[in-house]
Structure 1
Amino acid sequence: MGWLVLIALQVVWTVLDGGNRTAHITVLAITVALAVTHVTVMPWWRYRVHRWETTADAVYTQSGWLQQEWRIAPISRIQTVDSERGPLEQLFGLVNVTVTTASAAGPLRVHGLDRKTAQRLVDELTANTQATTGDAT
């Protein structure tokens, strides 16, 4: 969606500005090339790198583009499990799950799950968290 907005703004700028159209069209062509490259590479890269897993003991997430991060949150440290769906996620039937701990590194996030998987994950983490003794700090 961001690429479409940027391209639309550049088209409007090119039409309304009576100046050097060659420069406008060159910039627009570069933007379109970058957008096509991003839209082509991004899903493949996310599928290859981004991972998540839960066990009875912990939640694991891996994410990142160039700098990749592997995070582990013990079940006994989980404070909240939230799910959210923005307008775009609702359109595609996706859900984002956030697992909050007392860690200074922030919450663990799992993006783009289908509704059934997200509900199962939230239910499983909630049940495991309630069954685990600990102070969640």
Structure 2
Amino acid sequence: MTREPSGPPRNRFDRPAVGWWRARLALLSAAAIAILVLHAVVPGLFKLGGHWLFVPAAAVAVLAVPTVLLLPKWWFEAHRWEVTDVAVHVRTGYFWQRSKMAPLSRIQSVDTVRGPLRKRFGLATVTVTTAAVKGSLKIEGLQEERATAVADEITRASGAGS
């Protein structure tokens, strides 16, 4: 913790987050393509079928390539986070930036999440839950050791562990 919150958060997510975001986008794209191809190949499946579905499947494949390659780099440049003396601050988004702050005094719990895909990239997500109705704040894409250290720092500073 270094300062009062003023201006955008200073810290970037860790570099392996780019690979994790790419993998998530690639899996989502592959699932969409597989569903369209399955409907095209198996006539009468869910009352929707026909070879015309190869056209949207190809369109998804063509759009997926630049999306998977470029979008995660773009996100990496825009997404930031920071823990200050009074709050946790996360900024996400590129065109529509969303900035969320959780005052340390309102934090109820701090969790670290490591899903199977995140583990593959050595990443974890720190989830900060507050008393606010809007839900939790997530610092995604931190290397596991750093995520654990950040979660411990926030827990100590907020008193959420006591």
Structure 2 equivalent of residue 77 of structure 1 = 106
Give TM-score, length-normalised by structure 2: 0.71
Say whether the 8 Å CA contact 2:41–2:50 is kept in structure 1.
no
Alpha-carbon distance between aligned partners in 2 of 1:129 and 1:15, rounded to the nearest angstrom:
56
Say whether the 8 Å CA contact 2:100–2:137 is kept in structure 1.
yes
Matches within 5 A, 1:50-69: 50-69=79-98
SS at match of 1:52: strand
Q: What is the alpha-carbon root mean square deviation over aligned residues? A: 2.2
Deviation at 1:80, TM superposition (A): 0.7
Residue 59 (structure 2) pairs with residue 33 (structure 1): no
Q: Which of 118, 126, 132 is the matching residue for 1:97?
A: 126
**1:50 partner amino acid:** H
Q: Which of 121, 128, 133 is the matching residue for 2:157?
A: 128
Alpha-carbon distance between aligned partners in 2 of 1:89 and 1:20, rounded to the nearest angstrom:
37
Give TM-score, length-normalised by structure 1: 0.82
Matches within 5 A, 1:38-49: 38-49=67-78
Q: 1 or 2 for the larger relative contact order (CA 8 Å, sep ≥6)?
A: 2
Going from structure 1 to structure 2, the CA distance change for 1:107 and 1:20 (only over 3 Å counts) comes to closer
Alpha-carbon distance between aligned partners in 2 of 1:39 and 1:105, rounded to the nearest angstrom:
30
Q: Where do 5+ consecutive residues of structure 2 fail to align? A: 1-26, 44-48
Say whether the 8 Å CA contact 2:129–2:136 is kept in structure 1.
yes
Residue identity (%) = 40
Alpha-carbon distance between aligned partners in 1 of 2:103 and 2:113, rounded to the nearest angstrom:
22
Residue 50 (structure 2) pairs with residue 13 (structure 1): no
Q: Which entry has the higher C-alpha Rg, 1 or 2?
A: 1
Structure 1 equivalent of residue 145 of structure 2 = 116
**2:72 partner amino acid:** P
Deviation at 1:62, TM superposition (A): 0.4
Q: Where do 5+ consecutive residues of structure 1 fail to align? A: 132-137
